[in-house]
């Protein structure tokens, strides 16, 4: 695991964008495609905007396939939809072809949408290299990631799959990757910034294991790597931050 702690949210975003471009270039060189699962919530908006502007000509976007690590059970036109946020901030500005975007089909209802997405993933990753190149994750101030919320049954799901669940805390159905599905990715990157996340960051990285309370502790890649991209404010409650920190030195993104 690498902790990459930057001064400001903008610096965090800049570093993650660079990492995204680096992993994309490597995956495209090796497999002629780059598969990424986006996170929801509001934190990734700035990342998308940076990718859609400064990285417009630095990534082979026609070889990038987009998925979603979780979705709210609302129409894809609803303001709460993770898909809608990505559409507005990334897909439309970059003119991404629909064939490269795998939305969670919420019109089917949460249960059916989760099953259908699991099948879609199995069909997509039907070859030897059977997982995502990159999964981007956020962190809720209650220590959830994707829609793996505290005290929910999905925390005990051992299948690498997509599941639907009702989350009392937010009074809605969600559709989410399970932790085993996240953990088989080649690269996992947490994007976390702001003081409001500091307590959760401390729970995940330094407190005793208690996945019921701190679900993001379930994220432990089986073979891939795990990087945290966060700002000083989010890292401010870590007691051992400098002792545990490994600075990630990223090469410049490829130029066309
Ligand atoms: O509910 C969710 O929250 C987390 C964190 O969101 P943020 O708005 O605090 O950035 C997010 O990672 C997750 O995908 C989302 O559905």
**What is the topology classification, in CATH, of domain 2-244?**
Rossmann fold (3.40.50)
- pTM metric for this prediction: 0.94
**30-44 tens-digit pLDDT:** 999 999 999 999 999
Ligand 1, atom 9: closest residue by C-alpha: 140
ipTM, two decimals, is 0.96
The pLDDT, as a whole number, for residue 248 is 47
Query: What is the residue extent of each domain of the chain?
Result: 2-244
Distance 226 CA to ligand 1 centre (A): 18
Helix, strand, coil share (%) of the chain residues, nearest 5: 40, 20, 40
Distance 201 CA to ligand 1 centre (A): 14
Task: Classify residue 228 by its DSSP letter.
Answer: E
Give one word for 171, left, alpha or beta, with left for phi > 0 and alpha for psi -120 to 50: left
Asked which of 50-64, 91-105, 178-192, 227-241 is least confident by mean pLDDT, the reply is 227-241
């Amino acid at each position: 695991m690498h902790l990459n702690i930057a001064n400001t949210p903008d610096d965090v975003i800049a570093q993650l964008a660079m990492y995204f471009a680096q992993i994309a270039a490597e995956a495209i060189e090796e497999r002629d495609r780059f598969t990424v699962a986006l996170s929801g919530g509001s934190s990734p908006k700035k990342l998308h905007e940076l990718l859609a502007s400064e990285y417009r000509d630095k990534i082979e976007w026609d070889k990038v396939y987009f998925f979603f690590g979780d979705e709210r059970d609302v129409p894809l036109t609803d303001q709460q939809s993770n898909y809608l946020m990505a559409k507005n901030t990334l897909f439309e500005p970059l003119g991404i072809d629909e064939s490269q975007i795998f939305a969670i089909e919420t019109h089917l209802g949460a249960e059916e949408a989760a099953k259908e997405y699991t099948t879609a993933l199995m069909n997509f990753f039907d070859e030897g290299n059977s997982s995502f190149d990159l999964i981007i994750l956020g962190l809720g101030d209650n220590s959830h990631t994707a829609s793996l919320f505290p005290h929910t049954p999905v925390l005990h799901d051992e299948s690498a799959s997509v599941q639907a669940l009702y989350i009392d805390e937010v009074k809605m159905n969600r559709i989410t990757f399970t932790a085993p599905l996240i953990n088989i990715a080649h690269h996992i990157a947490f994007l976390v910034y702001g003081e409001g996340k500091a307590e959760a960051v401390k729970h995940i990285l330094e407190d005793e294991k208690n996945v019921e309370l701190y679900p993001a502790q379930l994220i432990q890649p089986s073979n891939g790597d795990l990087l945290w991209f966060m700002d000083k404010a989010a890292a401010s409650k870590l007691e051992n931050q400098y002792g545990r920190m490994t600075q990630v030195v990223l090469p410049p993104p490829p130029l066309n």
